[in-house]
Amino acid sequence: MSCSSIRQYGLPTQTLVQTHEFNGKETFSVVIFKKGVAEVVHFEKLRQHVGTQVLAYLKLRGGWDADGRGPCVWDTFTHQGGERVFENQTGDVACGSYTLWEEDLKCIKQLGLTHYRFSLSWSRLLPDGTTGFINQKGIDYYNKIIDDLLRNGVTPIVAIYHFDLPQALEDQGGWLSEGIVEAFDKYAQFCFRTFGDRVKQWLTINEPNILALLAYDMGIFAPGVPHFGTGGYQAAHNLIKAHARSWHSYDSLFRKEQKGFVSLSLFFCWLEPAEPNSVLDQEATKRAINFQLDLFAKPIFIDGDYPELVKSQIASMSEKQGYPSSRLPEFTEEEKKMIKGTADFFAVQYYTTRLVRHQENKKGELSFLQDVEIEFFPNPSWENVGWIYVVPWGIRKLLKYIKDTYNNPVIYITENGFPQCDPPSLDDTQRWEYFRQTFQELFKDKMIMMMTMMMAMMVMMMMLTALLRQFF
């Protein structure tokens, strides 16, 4: 099967094809392959919708040591072996997009995508993390991607940082070090200066809330050293300041000429009380939302500071554990002013939903999750593949929460999707149902109409182009 057959035979994942007239109304269509039949589902166009693919360095790019790229924390982490990564896999080759870009571009064109989101590799551009050593081959590589996309009518959306901190900076303390704030700002300025004449939509940091928790609190992600109850908060503190600094750099140095937009993307599973009538579960759910989403969103979108509930909860737990002060760092008044309002749109990544139950931290254990005093779990009746349970109504509730809490911002759904079961197949009814139900939820009660604009960017964790190469 060739790439030219994509629209005829459908895909193992959804794609939004070009807007057109259907039954007298402006619509867009989702082409989904179900039980051997390509089915086209039409939706009336409300405001703006785009078809987008998302690419992350570690999941797809590969070329880990090619053309002068320096090592990043994930290279070090995966090369150490052991039980850190499933079957000792690495990102050395991944899906090979570094050497197969021309094939990816063909698929992008055949899909009729209007936007393509990808992340830059910090250590490919600046091998030691600083502008003292600039890798021209890295610049050339990303220039080609951007220019190829624009030449084919595809808008690039660029994430400056996606978990892959240069190892040289991690050796200096990484996101636990105050120095990382300035280092990131200089890197972001370098990206704005180098690519901003063509890139108009920027994401500074991908899922900083996940990075802080899994990398620097629990130690599950690279660099792999846990700092239970302290590291996650320190990393979050520096991530927020780094984002804000880079937003101000764009605003003061580049926006007037480049006319672009800058935000960061936050991951969130929607949360519901395990027992809807339980006051304890209701309060636990509120805490969980405050800790997992609002801890980053409130400083940036509202007032420059953490949620009061988060501050009081951590302070109380810290006191019980014998700490002289809260384990959550404090922003100065100057920092609060610097952080407030540093996003041009709200970018959120939704995949699934969990139920929340209050669980008291009786032993006073140290960790982010113990501070929240919850346990969360899926409803066993929900259909799932791996950790993603099919809960389409969760995305609608999440968007409403963002709308009501953050003054009705422009919202981009920068990731959403459903994983492919092995072996991959075009006959993927589960994914068809996931996307069909998701779109239905988005259109309920004219939800889309409530937003100034929303971009539905449907992706799979293993990335679309990797899947395409197995069939075309």
Residue 31 has pLDDT above 70, yes or no: no
Question: How would residue 91 be classed by pLDDT, with cut points 50, 70 and 90?
Answer: low
Among 8-17, 280-289, 319-328, the range scoring the smallest mean pLDDT is 8-17
More confident site: 445 or 47: 445
- Per-residue pLDDT tens over the stretch 154-169: 999 999 999 999 999 9
Q: Name the residues annotated as catalytic.
A: 207, 415
Mean pLDDT of 366-394: 93
Tokens encoding 329: 């760092």
pLDDT of residue 419: 76
Question: DSSP letter string over 192-212?
Answer: HHHHTTT--EEEEEE-HHHII
Closest by CA to 215, choosing from 175, 253, 248, is 175
Single pTM value for the model: 0.85
The confidence band for 185, taking pLDDT boundaries of 50, 70 and 90, is very high
Cα→Cα distances 193→91, 152, 326, Å: 28, 23, 39
What are the angstrom distances between the C-alpha of 25 and each of 22, 46, 447? 5, 10, 19
pLDDT band at 306 (very low <50, low <70, confident <90, very high): very high
pLDDT at position 88 is 58
Note the pLDDT of residue 34.
38
Q: What is the pLDDT of residues 102-153, one digit of tens each?
A: 988 998 888 888 888 999 999 999 999 999 999 999 999 999 999 999 999 9
- Give mean pLDDT, residues 38-50: 40
pLDDT digits (tens, 9 = 90+) for 213-237: 999 999 999 999 999 999 999 999 9
Asked if residue 430 lies in contact with residue 421, where contact means CB atoms within 8 angstroms, the answer is yes
Indicate if the pLDDT at residue 454 is higher than 80: no
pLDDT at 469: 42
CATH architecture entry for 49-445: Alpha-Beta Barrel (3.20)
- 18-29: average pLDDT: 37
Distance (Å, rounded) from C-alpha 304 to C-alpha 346? 15
pLDDT for position 28: 39
The residue ranges of every structural domain in the chain are: 49-445
